DNA sequence: TTTAAATTGGGTAATTCGGGGA
DNA sequence: GTTGTCCGAATTACCCAATTTA
């Protein structure tokens, strides 16, 4: 199936994350995101991986959250998006 | 389909709410507002959600609260109004 | 081939992170 | 219980010129 093997340019990824293209390059250099280099040295990123990072690689199930009750003090302990990757390291 | 899912930085959201960026971070940590993390650990917020919170259209439950002897939950929270948050996206 | 836009690399400010305490 | 401020550390944003891409 098509998991989205399209390649995105640093500018595209930067726009998706609302960061500078330079920052995306830094992620690739740091190994936080996979990258493919063109013969000229430019980087390309897999759309599937980028989308996974955007939504929080976890899964796709957050259709509703405590709707019947206001999250007043029932701390869900989650920031809306399941992102277990960099939740603890820093 | 452009509901405005642009991403805002903590500083942007803080300026909109007239609070400190740290406060916005606390909201995200407490789950009061959804957040997306960059691979570097910084947060980004959906403009649509922020606007909904600003306008109050998201939760129409602010008619009265606090003073009267109100139970913990009395009103139907969101997910019923014009709130195009991430409800079943991809 | 030439042109315009994007990307690369290094270097330096600004922002954000997390924890602690007022 | 919520918010604002302090600190150190990490991440990110903008500056430049040269190369690559389309």
Q: Give pLDDT tens digits for B17-44.
A: 999 999 999 999 999 999 999 999 999 9
Q: Count interface pairs A-B at CB distance under 8 A.
A: 79
A37 pLDDT above the threshold of 70: yes
A77 pLDDT above the threshold of 70: no
% of chain B beyond a pLDDT of 90: 49
pLDDT for A3 equals: 58
**Residue carrying structure tokens 């330079």:** A22
Which among A67-76, B37-46, B66-75 has the top mean pLDDT? Answer: B37-46
Q: State pLDDT tens for residues A1-24.
A: 655 589 999 999 999 999 999 999
A43 pLDDT above the threshold of 50: yes
Q: Is the CB of B20 under 7 A from strand D?
A: yes
d(CA A9, CA A11): 5
* Structure-block tokens of residue B7: 């991403």
| CA/C1' separation B71–C15 (Å) | 41
Cross-strand partners of B70: none
pLDDT for A54 equals: 87
Cβ(B12)–Cβ(B49) below 8 Å: no
Q: Which of these, A32, A88, A76, A82, lies nearest to A59 by C-alpha position?
A: A82
% of chain B beyond a pLDDT of 70: 58
A72 pLDDT above the threshold of 70: no
Mean pLDDT over the full length of chain B: 71
* Structure-block tokens of residue A39: 């013969």
Nucleotides of C under 7 A from a protein CB: 6-11, 15-20
What burial letters (b/e) apply to B20-48, b meaning 16+ CB within 10 Å? ebeebbebbeebbbbbbbbbeebbbbbbb
What separation in angstroms does the CA of B55 have from each of A69, B29, B35, B77, B90? Answer: 20, 22, 19, 15, 26
Q: Cβ–Cβ of A67/B77 closer than 8 Å?
A: yes
């Amino acid at each position: 199936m098509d998991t989205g093997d399209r390649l995105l340019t640093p500018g595209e990824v930067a726009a998706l994350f609302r960061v500078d293209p330079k920052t995306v390059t830094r992620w690739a250099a740091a190994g936080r995101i996979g990258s493919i280099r063109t013969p000229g040295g430019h980087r390309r990123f897999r759309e599937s991986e980028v989308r996974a990072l955007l939504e929080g690689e976890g899964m796709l199930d957050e259709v509703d959250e405590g709707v019947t009750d206001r999250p007043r003090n029932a701390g869900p302990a989650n920031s809306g998006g399941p992102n277990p990757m960099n939740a603890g390291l820093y």
